[in-house]
Structure 1
Amino acid sequence: MFKKSLLTLAVTGLVSFSTFANAANTLTLEVYNPGEKSVFPVSSEIVSGPHEVALIDAQFQRNDAQELVKKIKATGKKLTTVYISHSDPDFYFGLDVIKAAFPEANIIASPETIKAINATQAGKLAYWGPILKENAPTTVIVPQPLQGSSFSIDGQQVEVKGLNGPTPDRTFVWIPSLKAVMGGVPVAGDNIHPWIADNQTVESRAHWQQTLESIKALKPQVVVPGHFLPGAAQTLESVTFTHNYLTTLESELPKTKNSAELIAAMQQHYPKLQDGSSLELSAKVLKGEMKWPQ
């Protein structure tokens, strides 16, 4: 999960909207990302067919979820499905706003994601509620289990990938007709330090790399990172970046004695990346200087 310094939250910033379509099919993809104006620059995707709409991930803050509601209503189409790709709260805290606006929408996630949400949501709300204040959820909405490995929008398939892999709670979405991947938490934008604190073992990071390889194998034309800042590549470049970053980290971990040395090493490799706080916290966790989650 992308971690931004809570002492330096910006009150203004860019909102990223990207729209992708393919003339050979009837689906369009619109990306919403609040950028630096919110705690987390987390991505949500509105996928539209002729009559139906699906939403991938529901934002962290109420105000950003309300922006999604406006965008969905502006389509004039029915929201049929909301898919939550990961159990971090920046992917699902906005669900109460979405559900209030679209009570008939089917809100779903993988069984493993639901299990992780149920295990952590009380602690997440206790921690983030006082920070988010009026933008905290009034109630936490837990998705229902995805049936099978796909859902449809006006008859066109949207596939959930990773359900049978090593980390079924960290899925990504593949839309064959658009050749588009919604990368979710496995893909970081190529202008930020990826959040590594949740992957504290060599095995978990190897599993992450396997997920990235499975994305590459699809040969997508569009890849939307789960977190990014304006200007990030929405292509396989961000997948390659995340892969290379993890490889570099794995090489530097045994060479460095403490978090300060690891931070310095990674900054030398990636001097232009934003969100140094993610690197700082992740380095402390990986070097055993800090417990995470708290």
Structure 2
Amino acid sequence: MPESYDAATLTVDGEAIEIVDANGMPNRRYLWSPTLRAVFGGVLIFSGVHVWTADTKGAEQRAAWRSNLDAIAARAPDVVVPGHMATTAKPDASAIAHTKAWLAAFEQELPKAKDAAALIDAIKARYPDADMGIAIDIGAKVAKGEMAWGKP
């Protein structure tokens, strides 16, 4: 059976990889390889796809997310591996910028949308070529209170 691993680092081929907790986002982490100057972003970083927001129900959590993206960008990584990405996406800092811009668009459109359908339409208009439509479909419903998600 797998066991929980809560150490701050792991070692791969003799190289230390930092396991970085995302501030203000319980159960969210990313990996940082100082030697490779690489970030393995997990569910914090997306590229060329709609961003999964169903797990971040409130604006405060999404603001913390954007703050964590700023901290990741401040590391000036040469390589960024998103947790979810389009097949055409490049493994670079553009993924951080994409995620942050997408989240900002979501925050701008959320209060203007009368319901989830309107929010979905607004985001899809801004990101017409983004893959992973299920992310905006569910995220919009959760944000507009039309669908329950996660623990109560």
With normalisation by structure 2, the TM-score equals 0.92
2:108 equivalent in structure 1: 251
Partner AA of 1:144 in structure 2: S
| Aligned pair partner of 1:172 in 30, 39, 59 | 30
| Aligned pair partner of 1:184 in 18, 21, 42 | 42
CA drift at 1:214: 1.1
Seq. identity, %: 36
CA contact (8 A) 1:162 1:211 kept: no
Higher relative contact order (CA 8 A, sep 6+): 2
In structure 1, what is the Cα distance between the partners aligned to 2:3 and 2:49?
A: 29
CA drift at 1:274: 1.3
Residues 112-150 of structure 1, C-alpha deviations (whole Å, 9 max, x = no match): xxxxxxxxxxxxxxxxxxxxxxxxxxxxx4433323x11
Count of aligned pairs: 151
Which residues of structure 1 form unaligned runs of 5+? 1-140
| Aligned pair partner of 2:9 in 150, 174, 181 | 150
1:201 equivalent in structure 2: 58
Q: 1:289 to 1:168 in 2, by over 3 A?
A: closer
In structure 2, what is the Cα distance between the partners aligned to 1:261 and 1:154?
A: 49
For the aligned residue pairs, the C-alpha RMSD in angstroms reads 1.6
In structure 2, what is the Cα distance between the partners aligned to 1:146 and 1:196?
A: 25
Which residues of structure 2 form unaligned runs of 5+? none
Please say if 1:159 is aligned against 2:18.
yes
In structure 2, what is the Cα distance between the partners aligned to 1:154 and 1:293?
A: 37
CA drift at 1:207: 1.1
Residues 176-217 of structure 1, C-alpha deviations (whole Å, 9 max, x = no match): 11000000100012x211111111101110111111111101
CA contact (8 A) 1:186 1:208 kept: yes
Partner AA of 1:180 in structure 2: A
Q: 1:177 is paired with a residue of what secondary structure?
A: coil
CA drift at 1:233: 2.0
Partner AA of 1:292 in structure 2: W
Q: 1:205 is paired with a residue of what secondary structure?
A: helix
Residues 6-54 of structure 1, C-alpha deviations (whole Å, 9 max, x = no match): xxxxxxxxxxxxxxxxxxxxxxxxxxxxxxxxxxxxxxxxxxxxxxxxx
Partner AA of 2:93 in structure 1: L
